Amino acid sequence: MAYSKKIFDKATEKLNFRRNSALNMVEYRKKELYSAFPRLNEIEKTLGEIGAQTAKSVLNGSSAIDELKLLKEKSIALQNEYKAILTENGYAEDYLEPHFSCEKCGDTGYVELENKTVTCECYKKLLSDTACEELNKISPLSLSTFDSFELGYYSGNPDENGKIPYNRMVKILKHCADYAHNFSLSSKGLLLMGSTGLGKTHLSLAIANEVIQKGYSVVYVSAPDILSKLEREHFAYGYSEKEQIMNSLLDCDLLILDDLGTEFVTQFTSTAIYNIFNSRINAGKPVIINTNLTVDELGKVYTKRFTSRLTSSCEQLEFIGRDIRALL
Ligand SMILES: [Zn+2]
């Protein structure tokens, strides 16, 4: 996947930070232990000298086989002595070795596979997470939680349709909390419907936060913002971030589109929304959509084709009550 230089630089910076932290920790520990046990320092120096001698002997060819054998034995004995000093003093054998976040690549981002240097999975994930973070900056994830959702704002009296908002919202809150708790890549999508100010954004942000904490990549964007950005990039002259944005929208584990239907709908945005949604559903990846519109209204704004995919792949949760912002 192609990333912009900015994403690439940011991800590389994080990777270098991980690697340097592991190496700095080793230096710190060595300093401490070498002053307590100077023999460790001597052994390390001697091992370095043996390494240099070994390299020389290899260059000298076959006549050096006996010498090499001797050097190897000496080296193994010293390594064992080094480990013994550590363990006898209550340290783990590998106490002075770097502990990288990724053992496969030692936090370099690259591994050797069948004589080829390839990008390590950890670096791919870091790039994809960094791209998600960049997108999330458009609508920053505030710290909404299920605990801070105030059910007290919802009336316990029946509304004009005979439904009790409080009871409905207790169910919806539980449903969303269970959804986040049990989230997996095979989760269904959610369609959160209802007027403005009924808590759709709050609950979808709470889902986002919990799913992120479970280690999944989540992109949370407002539909009007992301669609206008995509449209600008689509018609941009020269370098465009459109591909990268689309990739993040399609690749993340969970995509949350807030405020769908409030954007200025054009042929471009209508097609883009359908494509994003359709590609994710085909790939079995969940989407959460928040909208003030009903399914019928969405069908008029977009297409029936879109709403039929939407309703067949998402659970519908209809928020009811009075705009809680008016009650604050
Ligand atoms: Zn790695």
CATH 3.40.50.300 fits 138-327, yes or no: yes
Angle of helix 304-313 relative to helix 267-282, nearest 10 degrees, comes to 30
Domain boundaries, the chain: 5-101, 138-327
Q: Ligand 1 centre from 100 Cα, in Å? A: 9
- The residue behind tokens 């981002």 is 109
Taking the C-alpha atoms of residue 30 and residue 103, their distance in angstroms, rounded to an integer, is: 20
Q: Ligand 1 centre from 208 Cα, in Å? A: 26
Taking the C-alpha atoms of residue 8 and residue 133, their distance in angstroms, rounded to an integer, is: 13
Whole-model pTM? Answer: 0.68
Q: Ligand 1 centre from 111 Cα, in Å? A: 7
> pLDDT tens per residue, the chain (328 residues)?
567 788 889 999 999 999 999 999 999 999 999 999 999 999 999 999 999 988 888 777 656 778 888 889 999 999 999 999 999 999 999 999 999 999 999 999 999 988 899 999 999 889 888 887 877 776 656 668 898 888 988 889 888 888 999 999 999 999 999 999 999 999 999 999 999 889 999 999 899 888 888 888 888 888 988 888 888 888 877 777 788 888 889 989 999 999 998 887 888 888 999 999 999 999 999 999 999 999 999 988 888 888 999 999 999 999 998 876 666 5
In the chain, the amino acid numbered 268 is F
Model confidence over 90-132: pLDDT tens digits? Answer: 999 999 999 999 999 999 999 998 889 999 999 988 988 888 7
Q: Ligand 1 centre from 22 Cα, in Å? A: 14
Q: In this structure, what token pair is assigned to residue 7?
A: 């994403």
Q: Ligand 1 centre from 135 Cα, in Å? A: 24
φ/ψ of 310, rounded to 5, equals -60, -50
Locate all alpha helices (DSSP H) within the chain, ordered by sequence. Answer: 5-36, 38-60, 65-88, 121-136, 165-181, 200-213, 223-234, 242-251, 267-282, 295-301, 304-313, 324-327
Q: Ligand 1 centre from 181 Cα, in Å? A: 28
Residue 83, Cβ density class (10 Å: 0-12 exposed, 13-18 middle, ≥19 buried): middle
Q: Ligand 1 centre from 249 Cα, in Å? A: 24
Model confidence over 12-47: pLDDT tens digits? Answer: 999 999 999 999 999 999 999 999 999 999 999 999
